[in-house]
């Protein structure tokens, strides 16, 4: 269920992946084919990641941090507890936004925090609610931010990355 929205000169593109292996393939292909044309962020449930990797649910998230650093080449990683979803990890350019502290708690950990961030990056109420539900049911969310031409090209490209 890909979505893109204008955010001034740049656009945001979201897509969900039920399978971690599909997301891995998509990220690898995007990095190979588009290198630095956009910013990448990924959201997922910690428990779902552990299930997909046949790991015991982790209290120490260093395994996740290392995994995503190796795959995406970024040290931007964090996690938070969402009242609506449970423990969630975030990787990439949106980490500072999701983990921004308000009264000592990450913004995304506040009730409707992640939903509010989705609205703030340009999603409609319906789209934000839909992506929150997908995240809650174990999908991984791929969020890309780039200039309009790149995002338009990605829309055409998305069917090939989803089916890789």
96 three-state secondary structure: helix
Q: How many residues does the chain have?
A: 164
Contact status, residue 22 vs residue 151, Cβ threshold 8 Å? no
Look at the chain and report how many structural domains it folds into. Answer: 1
Q: What is the pLDDT of residues 16-57, one digit of tens each?
A: 999 999 999 989 888 887 766 788 999 999 999 999 988 887
Question: 86: domain range?
Answer: 3-162
The pLDDT tens digits for 52-96 are: 988 887 677 888 999 999 999 889 999 999 888 999 999 999 999
Binning pLDDT at 50, 70 and 90, where does residue 6 land? very low
Nearest CA-CA partner of 84 in 103, 102, 110, 107? 110
Closest CA to 92 of 107, 76, 80: 76
| Residue recorded with tokens 């069917």 | 159
């Amino acid at each position: 269920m890909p979505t893109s929205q204008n955010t001034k000169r740049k656009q945001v593109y979201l897509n969900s992946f039920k399978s971690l292996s599909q997301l891995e393939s998509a990220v690898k292909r995007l990095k190979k084919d588009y290198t630095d044309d956009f910013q990448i962020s990924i959201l997922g449930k910690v428990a779902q990641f552990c299930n997909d990797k046949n790991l015991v649910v982790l209290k120490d998230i260093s395994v996740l941090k290392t995994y995503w650093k190796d795959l995406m080449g970024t040290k931007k990683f964090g996690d938070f507890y969402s009242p609506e979803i449970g423990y969630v990890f975030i990787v990439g350019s949106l980490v500072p936004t999701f983990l921004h502290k308000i009264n000592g708690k990450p913004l995304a950990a506040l009730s409707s925090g992640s939903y509010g961030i989705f609205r703030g990056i340009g999603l409609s109420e319906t789209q934000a609610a839909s992506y929150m539900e997908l995240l809650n049911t174990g999908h991984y969310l791929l969020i890309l931010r780039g200039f309009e031409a790149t995002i338009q090209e990605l829309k055409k490209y998305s069917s090939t990355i989803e089916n890789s």
